[in-house]
């Protein structure tokens, strides 16, 4: 009989192998709209994490890592993708363009919208349900996700590119300690990287997404911590209040303890001690029909 710790290690290995990580691919076949150059930082991409055929549910989530619109935090991208794919959800980590590389709104929103359109356009080949494509983001990535949740479009029927004819509306949103507002209780660094140092009042209002919620905003899962000193919990509370006013279904989880940026609070392959939000999310995803 194998020692108990060996069995644990083997189980962890099986968990890791249950997701197939495929090479990243660009969002556009040619130069991305608004590109400032042709380097790596100018090419937005998606990296797919495919669940095993036995566990795949046909649902997918595009993941926007955080990083203040100045970087991309891997533990809010790859780790989330592995966690979701091990539960049957096909995950795509989005490398979107950043303020630290000279980009400003609406480039980031364009990258997120294209990502959802592109995944939906490939649904048949990937055995996905085009009506079960979500978006997820943490911190500034949560702002980007909430921007698409409130600024999506249904596609341009007359577009030359067939992908642009497809809706960019996510079917659900998952927001982890998100930046929501561009007002004073948001996050200064994210605001400057997204809008520049001196944005107009109209632009601040437009990208303060608690003000942009409508009855058409997709169902949303939010979580935050009271102790978050970088992005105040008020961001999630205001967005949830706006969802409530507009009759949009949502789950809101506020935990007393926890610093900003904690992610899953455990690492792959085992995810043996995730933060409670991770299990709360799985329960909510079952309600939405994204996991079994």
What pLDDT, in 10s, does the model give residues 118-134? 999 999 999 999 999 99
Q: Which stretches does DSSP call E strand in the chain? A: 19-21, 25-26, 45-51, 60-64, 90-95, 133-138, 173-176, 220-225, 250-255
Average pLDDT over residues 146-169: 98
Place of tokens 């556009």: 28
The fold of 40-288 is Rossmann fold (3.40.50)
45 pairs with which residues across the strands? 26, 95
Report how far apart the first and last C-alpha atoms of the chain are (Å, whole number). Answer: 33
Among 274, 262, 230, 237, residue whose Cα is nearest residue 252: 237
Confidence of residue 34 (pLDDT cuts 50, 70, 90): very high
Alpha-carbon gap, residue 282 to 277, rounded angstroms: 9
With vertex at residue 289, the alpha carbon angle to CA 287 and CA 292, rounded to the nearest 5 degrees, is 95
Q: Quick count: other Cβ atoms within 10 Å of Cβ 255?
A: 18
Q: Quick count: other Cβ atoms within 10 Å of Cβ 188?
A: 11
Residues 214-270: tens digit of each pLDDT: 999 999 999 999 999 999 999 999 999 999 999 999 999 999 988 898 989 877 776
Please, are residues 187 and 231 in contact by the beta-carbon 8 Å criterion?
yes
What is the residue extent of each domain of the chain? Answer: 40-288
Please, are residues 78 and 71 in contact by the beta-carbon 8 Å criterion?
no
Among 111, 83, 91, 97, residue whose Cα is nearest residue 15: 83
pLDDT of residue 2: 36
Alpha-carbon gap, residue 248 to 246, rounded angstroms: 6
Confidence of residue 274 (pLDDT cuts 50, 70, 90): confident
Q: Are strands 220-225 and 133-138 parallel, antiparallel or unpaired?
A: unpaired
Q: Is the pLDDT of residue 75 over 70?
A: yes
Q: Number of C-alpha atoms within 13 angstroms, CB side, residue 122?
A: 13
Alpha-carbon gap, residue 268 to 156, rounded angstroms: 40
Q: Is the pLDDT of residue 14 over 50?
A: no
pLDDT of residue 39: 97
152-185 burial, b at 16+ Cβ within 10 Å, e below that, comes to beebeeeeeeebbebbbbbbbbbbbbbbbbbbee
């Amino acid at each position: 009989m194998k020692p108990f710790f060996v069995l644990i290690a083997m189980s962890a290995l099986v968990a890791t192998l249950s997701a197939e990580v495929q090479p990243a691919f660009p969002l556009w076949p040619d130069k991305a709209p608004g590109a400032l150059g042709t380097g790596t930082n100018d090419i937005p991409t998606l990296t797919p994490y495919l669940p095993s055929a036995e566990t795949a549910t046909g649902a997918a989530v595009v993941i926007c890592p955080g990083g203040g619109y100045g970087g991309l935090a891997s533990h809010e991208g790859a780790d989330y993708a592995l966690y979701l794919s091990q539960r049957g959800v096909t995950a795509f980590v989005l490398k979107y363009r950043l303020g630290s590389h000279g980009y400003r709104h609406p480039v980031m929103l364009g990258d997120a919208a294209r990502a959802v359109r592109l995944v939906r356009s490939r649904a048949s080949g990937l055995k996905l349900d085009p009506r079960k494509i979500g978006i997820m983001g943490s911190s500034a990535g949560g702002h980007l996700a909430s921007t698409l949740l409130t600024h999506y479009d249904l596609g341009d029927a007359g577009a030359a590119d067939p992908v642009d004819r497809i809706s960019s509306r996510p079917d659900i949103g998952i927001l982890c300690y998100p930046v929501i507002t561009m007002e004073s209780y948001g996050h200064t660094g994210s605001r400057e990287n997204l809008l520049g140092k001196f944005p107009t009042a109209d632009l601040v209002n437009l990208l303060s997404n608690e003000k942009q919620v409508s009855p058409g905003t997709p169902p949303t899962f939010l979580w935050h911590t009271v102790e978050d000193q970088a992005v105040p919990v008020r961001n999630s509370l205001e967005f949830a209040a706006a969802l409530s006013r507009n009759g949009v279904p949502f789950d809101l989880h506020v935990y007393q303890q926890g610093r900003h940026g904690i992610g899953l609070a455990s690492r792959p392959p085992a995810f043996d001690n995730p933060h409670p939000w991770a299990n709360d999310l799985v329960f909510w995803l079952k309600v939405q029909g994204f996991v079994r």
